[in-house]
Amino acid sequence: MSNLKYRVKDISLAPKGRLQIEWAEKHMPVLMEIRKRFEKERPLKDLRIGAVLHVTKETAVLMRTLIAGGAEVYLAASNPLSTQDEVAAALAEEEVHVYAWRGESEEEYFWAIDIVAKSEPNIVIDDGGDLHVHLHSKLLDIAKKIKGGTEETTTGIIRIKAMEKEGILKYPVIAVNNALTKFLFDNRYGTGQSTIDGIMRATNTLLAGKVVVVAGYGWVGRGIALRARGMGAIVVVTEVDPIRALEAAMDGFLVMPMKEAAKIGDIFITATGNIDVIRKEHFELMKNGAILANAGHFNVEVSVEDLKKISIARRKVRPHVEEYTLANGKKLYLLAEGRLVNLVAAEGHPSEVMDMSFANQALSIEYIAKKPKMKPALYSVPPEIDKTVAELKLKTMNIEIDKLTPRQEEYLRKWRF
Ligand code: NAD
Ligand code: ADE
């Protein structure tokens, strides 16, 4: 275990970070309600939690909630470019062991994850699977002793499923991403809004009248397409799944292969969780000035390698915007180095959305802490947790809903009228 209490960019940023966290707390009422109960009940007493998450003001609210529940917390970033340095500094001044700063090298990124893993946590939280994979490939003795973990995002769930299928998973993992109160809101409306926000902050480009190409019509792609249309863009969707392609078409979007979309797009946004979605053959077809952004978890969706290979010059023209000049003089603009544009060029999802995602995290962690023994496997978030989060969120939004009458309940149970 490391003696280093924290490593952040600049500890003097802490007062600024505290203000940011205070702002998030005001917009995360569900998590704050859970925190109040955790303070009384201390369900995480004597537990060490290792977390690899985007180090944002919303993550800070989750960390403070886990500490209120009695846990000791170790935290590293789930992306080298997403850390909010002032937030990391504020957490470092509190009780969190935090190892994160914006602009980590690949080596530094895994060094920080290694510290979290070697803290020998009882419970782990991950966003994208790098912590789970690190524990299973390099630190099996530590992995074997872990009581359980959670996974925040679609790409991480894919990796855990692959580990489960190979029979090598050493602890139970709750798929927080797959809770209804997570993916229906976070992946769709959270990423929908924050991706557009990131593109606008980076470029200040006008969306009205532009052709926006969205690759992938999953939960993230749906949200981005919806919000881009709301800003007046003409939206094109590319897909590999016939059902999702059909859904996009009937939702009123143009659907075509990327090799066709490449010729007409002004702004390209990948949201597939897949590799090489936009590559050399597509860059070559694009219009001069096209903008390239990614919202998927890893920086593999836009092939930066291909872009570098076919370019004769490259320069940074604005924060988070790199201009690539191709041999024929055409210029393409890559945002956020091809990493998640919403967390690099903007602040990630709004706090109100992360309120539900992180309420699911806090309650799933409490569930693991209280459960005597769970076999190593991928688990759904218990439906009662999902329901509690929805009910609490509605309450904090002052929204009331109807209740089934006894006659309606009976009607819904019967098959003979
Ligand atoms: P999803 O599985 O619901 O959707 C992915 C879609 O991409 C699927 O419909 C699939 O058919 C399609 N697809 C796969 N390969 C493709 C290709 N080559 N071309 C076109 N379409 C292709 O997943 P999701 O929940 O929408 O998540 C997508 C990605 O976004 C994941 O990497 C996830 O981890 C990430 N994510 C990012 C954020 C963020 O804050 N930026 C938030 C949530 C999820
Ligand atoms: N993922 C997307 N947005 C986020 C945020 N604001 N905080 C933590 N993780 C996120």
Q: Which of 59, 91, 154 to mutate to test the pocket of ligand 2 (most atoms within 8 A of CB)?
A: 59
Domain ranges across the chain: 11-182+349-396, 190-344
Q: Describe the crossing of helices 14-26 and 351-370 by its angle, rounded to 10 degrees.
A: 90
Please check the confidence at residue 396 and state whether its pLDDT lies above 90.
yes
What SS3 class is residue 224? helix
**Homologous superfamily of domain range 190-344:** NAD(P)-binding Rossmann-like Domain (3.40.50.720)
- The whole-angstrom separation of Cα 133 and Cα 137 is 6
Closest residue CA from atom 32 of ligand 1: 273
Is the CB of 277 within 6 Å of ligand 1?
Answer: yes
Query: 130 CB under 6 A from ligand 1?
Result: no
Given phi > 0 = left and psi -120 to 50 = alpha, else beta, which region is 252? Answer: left
Spatial separation of the C-alpha atoms in residues 11 and 108, rounded to whole Å: 18
Q: What is the pLDDT of residue 95?
A: 87
Give the nearest ligand 2 atom to 348 CA.
3
Please state which of the four CATH numbers 3.20.10.10, 3.40.630.30, 3.40.50.1480, 3.40.30.10 is assigned to the domain occupying 11-182+349-396.
3.40.50.1480
Angle (nearest 5°) at CA 225 between 185 and 292: 110
Residues 153 and 128 sit within 8 Å (Cβ to Cβ): yes
Query: The whole model's pTM is what?
Result: 0.97
From 160, 182, 187, mutation site for ligand 1 pocket: most ligand atoms within 8 A of C-beta: 187
Ligand 1 and 177: CB distance under 6 A? no
Q: Is 316 helix (H, G, I), strand (E, B) or coil?
A: strand
What integer pLDDT is reported at residue 148 of this predicted model? 98
- Over residues 203-218, the pLDDT tens digits come to 999 999 999 999 999 9
Report the chain's C-alpha Rg in angstroms. Answer: 22
Contact between 148 and 123 under an 8 Å Cβ cutoff? The reply is: yes
pLDDT tens-digit readout, 88-137: 999 999 989 999 999 999 999 999 999 999 999 999 999 999 999 999 99
Ligand nearest to the CA of residue 184, numbered in listed order: 1
Q: Dihedral through CA 228, CA 232, CA 233, CA 234, nearest 10?
A: 120
Q: Is the shortest distance between the CB of 187 and ligand 1 below 6 Å?
A: yes
The answer to whether the CB of 80 falls within 8 A of the CB of 111 is: no
Q: What are phi and psi of 61, to 5 degrees?
A: -65, -40
Q: Provide the 10 A C-beta neighbour count for residue 380.
A: 13
Question: For residue 294, what are the CA distances in angstroms to 50, 134, 204, 273, 277?
Answer: 28, 25, 17, 10, 10
CA–centroid distance, 69 to ligand 1, in Å, is: 33
Q: pLDDT digits over 228-287, tens only?
A: 999 999 999 999 999 999 999 999 999 999 999 999 999 999 999 999 999 999 999 999
Say whether 317 sits in a helix, a strand or coil.
Answer: strand
Could you tell which of 127, 224, 354 is best to mutate to test the pocket of ligand 2, judged by most ligand atoms within 8 Å of the CB?
354
What are 133-190's pLDDT values in tens digits?
999 999 999 999 999 999 999 999 999 999 999 999 999 999 999 999 999 999 999 9
Please, what is the Cα angle at 236 between 233 and 237, to 5 degrees? 130
For tokens 């003696």, name the residue: 3
Q: What percent of the chain has pLDDT over 90?
A: 98
- For tokens 């603009």, the residue is 333
When the pLDDT of each residue in the chain is averaged and rounded to a whole number, the result is: 98
Distance 256 CA to ligand 2 centre (A): 31
Using one digit for the tens of pLDDT, what is the confidence trace for 307-337?
999 999 999 999 999 999 999 999 999 999 9
Instruction: Tell me the CA end-to-end span of the chain in Å, nearest whole number.
Output: 66
Q: What integer is the mean pLDDT of 346-356?
A: 98
Distance 348 CA to ligand 2 centre (A): 5
